[in-house]
Amino acid sequence: MRALDAVRRANRPGPPEHSLRLRAACLGTVLVAVAACASVHEVSPATALAAAALITVGMAFSYVTRTRPPGWVKVLIAVGASAAFVWFFHSVSSPSVDITGVENPLTLLLVSVLVVHSFHVPARRDLLFSLGASAGLMAVGGAQAIDLRFGLFVVAWSCFGLWALTEMWTSASGGGRISAAGLVAALTALTAAAAAVFLVLPAPVVASRVALVSRAGAGGAVGVPGALAGDSGTPAQLSRAGSTSSPSRVGGYLGFAGSLDTALRGTLGNTLVMQVRAQRPSYWVGETFDTWQGQSWTQSRRTTTALRFGSPFVLPVPVGADPVGQADLQTFYIAGATADLVFHAESADELWFPTQTVFAGQDGTVVSPIGLGSGSIYTVESQVNAPTAAELRDDTSGQTLPGTAQAEYGQLPHPYPRVLALARSVTARDTTTYDKVQSLIGWIGSHTRYSLAIPPLPPGADTVTQFLFGDRVGFCEQISTSLAVMLRSLGIPAREAVGYVPGGYNPITDLWQIRADDAHAWVQVWFPGYGWQSFDPTAVVPAANPSPGATALKDVAAALRRVPWVPVVAVLAVAGLVAVLVRRRRSRPPTWAAQVAREAERAGRRAGRPRRPSETFAEYAAGLDALAGNGSTTWERLASSVEASAYGGHEPPPPAQRAMVAEARHTRVHRRAASGVGS
Amino acid sequence: MNLRARPARPVAPIAVAVGVVGLWWLVAHNGGAGWVQLLGDVVFGTLLIGVVGPWAVVARARVTVRSAPADACAGLPVDLQVDASTRLRVRPVEPPGPEVFVGPARRRGPAPDRITVVPSRHGLHGAVTVDIASAAPFALQWWTRRVRLALPSELHVAPRRGRPERPRTEAAEESGEVHERPRMDAGLPRGARPYAPGDNRRLVHWRATAHAGHLMVRELERPSAGPVTLMVDLPADPDEAERVAERALGTVVDLLATGAPVMLGTLERSGRVLAPVADRRGAGRRLARAVPAGGSPDAGGAGGG
């Protein structure tokens, strides 16, 4: 019975809410939440518009009937909500629907509930429910948002929500208001609390098997399925080897093609290429190269296997890879036209892709059959094997790569006696592969410099020889190639990998943002017990001739580019508007008489006739009328009313007060226009 | 008396807030969506300020009594003008009273910043005890604090006027030496004065009326009567003491109406007091100060006195 009583108490209708402001604020939160869901395609624009219209009508109906809500409305709400729930459970109960398929029905369910609920919102408690439901709707939209534009909706929703909550206090306290200082203190505390939690909480993680999203975006057909294409933004155009005359590749990068020319490097730019939601940062591999030709890398294993089973694609184990590791889910959100390579963390083993076919190479390269343009989404699960340094040192099993792979990944176009001598001298004291790699990386870091501003190598020049024994200045492809060649000269299998560095982490969206200039090349070294392990020698190479001023300017420019200007400007604009309104409100005279007096004094000042300290207002007004010289006694008449109010207690009715203020303003403006005297 | 602020019942919003935030973070953290987690942070901040913020408001709130009457009667409402630093819900506890909102309001115009107390018993109050509460700024959870508001002057709560009793006579009177009280209209004429409402029509002095042109009445000089001494001993039981005080007040008022001087003897905190009372207000004040013989009365306990 106690539970029954509690239910009855909970369902007891509250007192009707008469505050129109509170209803408007709650309506604002709900409409913003619906718009936010529409912006991330959780609901269609037509559905969003219909829902917004119905909710507005429902809120108006609730306000009109707040004192005596019709009984049939409750029946309608019960039927509508039940129908929405039945439809929702029917939609998600299909065996083919995974967890990601619940999002759209859940959004529609929430919108439907908000629509039917809006017709019965008589009390404050019901409005609070609308507020909470709008928060849920915002969360559903936020789950799909991958850029900072969603921040506009968050800011708008927060403003409406705060307005609603402060109006709720006004209503609950019988007209209480929060002072400006109190509101600022509350907002400051709220922001501090939210920021503290934001700073303390760990980053969200992708729960296993939850976010397996894939969607085709703007792309187009690839001219030759399975071939590398799209490097110039056109999927139909096949990738070409880089050349000094045509550096038009993905973001200017020459690597995402059948070969990698290390003699030159194009201008990469800073455009956003993709965003990645991942459990951990990784080097996102696009493809690898095994054959070194002195100035460029090529692939000897160019054949790919077509996988035609649809998602999830089970990818074959690449040659030399260790198939056992820690599962690592990554979802890639493509932001701009890119190559048709499926980027992934090392050793991808499963892929959710919006096509029925993908092409897998023996080295782990995965090629898309469609162009990957803006809006494309795919998810990869990789097996990440990250042994410790000690484990790699102990990996001395002596095994070799299977078949011809050992020779392929140790291939050199010609003997490099100087390179071999250098590598031996650097690694003379090292006994393990790992120590040798680290010694070589250390030597490169202490003897070479990084620079993008170097001229293309002349045709026929050997990149490694030029880099190691020439000016020792180069970029990532040259640095990593030099390491790979030194390792190969020592008999250690190594290959060149190209892709992207993890990029910048956006703490708001929890996404790694990869820009064109994040394109990178590094070295993968094979360890018998752990497969291919990545090493990035470029990371330890200092920049050549660093210019503090140029570096600082570049950092500042980069920081400014990453500022979310739209939300920042919006917040500043709103804050400025509020400040102006508050200032105007504070500077407004408190009474009508003071307003009239102020108008008269302004008119006098502009006419060069400021009020003297010893002058009464009536005297001053008479002086102003005399100054006008047209026989008008407007100021005198107004002054008479003001003094009668101030000293005689004859307070005119409010309409007359407003009329006198308006007349004073009118007189000030029009006399000035007519005669130049406030006049 | 200024106790710490505490959450007002029901405290369900706090539990709901903790549950909502916990569930939100659980979903957000495992969903991998940064925006959801950020929204959760905003919701957390809002709930935190909405639930805990009123504590700061209530703890810092200042309420003072600007003006209060000096006299009141048990069972009748007494308005106290108060000043509040912020909007507060005030519920008088001792003396009790209805719940009201005081403090700055959004609506322009004079705010009726007054609280009403309805003392149930006679007594002397130097302060009133109230529960102040606030849910600012978001009306999500009320917090309350019990405070004691000092009154600008002591509030004398007189007992209700009870049924009068014929005063017991002294032993000498019981033995036959009872003095008859003179009639109101008896005595020697001293002069004439204009008629005032309530004057006995038998006292109209027709000659003087004819001379003056309006009604004149005789003023009589009455023989002085011996004062009636009323000794009031309040019992320890508060209800019984209240009834005794009510009867005493009724008796005093009746005696004063007959024109007899009344000496009222009561026990106050300072000791026994025997002094004349001239009118009902004076009698009420004396009885408000009265305490039981064996201890302090329940009503006067709050006010000291």
- Residue B177 included in any domain: no
Name beta bridge partners: B64. B83
DSSP assignment string, A277-336: EESS---EEEEEE-EE-SSEEE-S---EEEE-S-SSEEPPPPTT----SEEEEEEEEE-S
* Buried/exposed code over A419-429 (b: 16+ C-beta within 10 A; e: otherwise): bbebbeebbee
- Residue B282 included in any domain: yes
Contact A170 B137 (CB under 8 A): no
Same domain? B15 vs B152: yes
Tell me which of A73-82, A310-319, A670-679, B81-90 is least confident: A670-679
Same domain? B286 vs B248: yes
Same domain? B116 vs B14: yes
Percentage of residues of chain A with pLDDT beyond 70: 87
If one counts every other C-beta atom within 10 angstroms of the C-beta of residue B232, the result is 20
Same domain? B89 vs B233: no
Q: What is each CA distance from A63 to A66, A114, A124, in whole angstroms?
A: 5, 16, 11
pLDDT at B173 over 60: no
Chain A residue numbers touching B53 (CB-CB < 8 A):
186, 189
Contact B106 A175 (CB under 8 A): yes
- Residue B181 included in any domain: no
- Residue B214 included in any domain: yes
pLDDT tens digits, one per residue of A393-444: 888 777 778 778 888 888 888 888 999 999 999 999 988 999 999 999 999 9
Chain B residue numbers touching A203 (CB-CB < 8 A):
34
Contact B45 A194 (CB under 8 A): yes
Domains identified in chain A and CATH numbers = 13-200 (no CATH), 259-546 (3.10.620.30), 588-675 (no CATH)
Closest CA of chain A from B113, distance in Å: 12
- Residue B86 included in any domain: yes
- Residue B174 included in any domain: no
What is the chain A residue with the closest CA to B16?
A132
- In this structure, what are the phi and psi dihedrals at residue B263, rounded to the nearest 5 degrees? -100, 125
Please say which residue of B221, B239, B266 terminates a domain. Answer: B221
Q: In this complex, is the C-beta atom of A176 within 8 Å of any C-beta atom belonging to chain B?
A: yes
What pLDDT is recorded for position A408? 86
Give chain B's count of helices (H) and strands (E): 6, 14
- Mutation pick from B20, B26, B39, B102 vs chain A, by most beta carbons of A within 10 Å, is B39
Q: In this complex, is the C-beta atom of A166 within 8 Å of any C-beta atom belonging to chain B?
A: yes
Name the average pLDDT for chain A. 83
pLDDT at A275 over 60: yes
Name the average pLDDT for chain B. 83
Q: In this complex, is the C-beta atom of A208 within 8 Å of any C-beta atom belonging to chain B?
A: no
CA dihedral A239, A244, A250, A253 (to 10 degrees): 120
Same domain? B72 vs B95: yes
- Residue B48 included in any domain: yes
What pLDDT is recorded for position B299? 39
- Mutation pick from A183, A206, A510 vs chain B, by most beta carbons of B within 10 Å, is A510
Same domain? B267 vs B294: yes
- The tokens describing A658, both together, are 């407003």
What pLDDT is recorded for position B304? 29
Tell me which of A161-175, A233-247, A579-593, B281-295 is least confident: A233-247
Please say which residue of B221, B241, B265 terminates a domain. Answer: B221
- Residue B120 included in any domain: yes
The whole-number average pLDDT for the span A582-595 is: 83
pLDDT tens digits, one per residue of B196-249: 888 888 888 898 999 999 999 888 766 556 778 899 999 999 999 999 999 999
Same domain? B135 vs B3: yes
- The tokens describing B14, both together, are 């706090």
What pLDDT is recorded for position B19? 86
Q: How many angstroms separate the CA atoms of A584 and B139, rounded?
A: 29
Where does the pLDDT of residue A628 fall: very low under 50, low under 70, confident under 90, or very high at 90 and above? confident
What pLDDT is recorded for position A246? 47
Same domain? B151 vs B203: no
pLDDT at A656 over 70: yes
Q: Give the range of the structural domain holding residue B290, as residue numbers without chain letter.
A: 159-168+224-305
- In this structure, what are the phi and psi dihedrals at residue B134, rounded to the nearest 5 degrees? -150, 150
Residue A137 parent element (H or E): helix A124-144
Nearest to B301, CA basis, from B178, B49, B128, B132: B128
pLDDT tens digits, one per residue of B16-47: 888 888 888 887 777 777 888 889 889 999 98
Closest CA of chain B from A162, distance in Å: 8
Chain position carrying tokens 């990469």 = A268
- The tokens describing A243, both together, are 């050349």
- The tokens describing A163, both together, are 């307005």
Tell me which of A153-162, A176-185, A433-442, B263-272 is least confident: A176-185
DSSP state at residue B75: T
Same domain? B290 vs B279: yes
What pLDDT is recorded for position A225? 66
Query: Taking CB atoms and an 8 Å cut-off, how many pairs form between chains A and B?
Result: 155
What pLDDT is recorded for position A572? 93
Chain B residue numbers touching A156 (CB-CB < 8 A):
none
- Mutation pick from A19, A197, A275, A506 vs chain B, by most beta carbons of B within 10 Å, is A197
Domain count for chain B: 3
Same domain? B6 vs B88: yes
What pLDDT is recorded for position A247? 44
Contact B36 A139 (CB under 8 A): yes
Same domain? B150 vs B196: no
Tell me which of A212-216, A377-381, A410-414, B109-113 is least confident: B109-113
Contact A379, A332 (CB under 8 A): yes
Where does the pLDDT of residue B302 fall: very low under 50, low under 70, confident under 90, or very high at 90 and above? very low
pLDDT at A223 over 70: no
Q: Which of residues 41-100 of A touch B (CB under 8 A)?
A: none
Same domain? B51 vs B2: yes
Tell me which of A383-387, A434-438, A539-543 is least confident: A539-543
Chain position carrying tokens 């639930």 = B51
Q: Which of B30, B40, B45 sits opposite A205 (nearest CB)?
A: B30
The whole-number average pLDDT for the span A174-199 is: 87
What pLDDT is recorded for position B300? 38
What pLDDT is recorded for position A306? 86
pLDDT tens digits, one per residue of B79-91: 999 999 889 999 9
DSSP state at residue A93: -
Q: How many angstroms separate the CA atoms of A107 and A391, rounded?
A: 48
pLDDT at A545 over 90: no
Of B288 and A510, the one with more pLDDT: B288
